[in-house]
Amino acid sequence: MYTIKEVADKMEVSEHTLRFWAKSGFFPYIKRNENNTRLFTEEDLEWVKIVKCLRNIGTENKAIKKYIDLCTIGDSTIAERFEIIKDTKKKALERMDELKKQLELLNWKENYYNSLIENKSIDRCNPINSDCQKVAT
């Protein structure tokens, strides 16, 4: 059983955000002790994980709540949950692709700046060209 602070550290989500998520109904089975303090079980950590996952991929909170609700309803919602997960996976792969391209751009810039510094040469390109040259794709 973990306090909100321990969960924040363990899962790398701020206490504020965890409270906000709790208030949003993202942790449907969470328990409290006699002092009204939230105590997260291992299962609750798994809910944190899936919420973090969906959030990171850009799923909006309303849609996350919908998914959580479907989970708590039970068997009858499996097909719908399956679709949500497939959609999310698709979005995740798109993000991954975009990130890869953007990493290429950053690599190009890193090399560019590095060569300018190493050679101690003067940047003769104007800022537009030096900073925005196309990456060879």
Residues that bind DNA (CB under 7 A): 3-6, 14-17, 19-22, 32, 34-38, 55, 60-62
Q: What is the closest distance, in whole angstroms, from the C-beta atom of residue 120 to a second copy in the complex? A: 10
**C-alpha dist (Å) from residue 126 to 100, 112, 122:** 27, 13, 11
Q: What is the closest distance, in whole angstroms, from the C-beta atom of residue 31 to a second copy in the complex? A: 12
How far is the C-alpha of 98 from the C-alpha of 100, rounded, in Å? Answer: 5
Question: What is the three-class DSSP state of 21?
Answer: helix
How far is the C-alpha of 134 from the C-alpha of 137, rounded, in Å? Answer: 8
Name the residues that contact a second copy, by CB under 8 A.
28-29, 43, 46-47, 49-50, 52-53, 56-57, 71-75, 78-79, 81-82, 85-86, 88-89, 92-93, 95-96, 98-100, 102-103, 105-107, 109-110, 113-114, 116-117, 122-123, 127-134
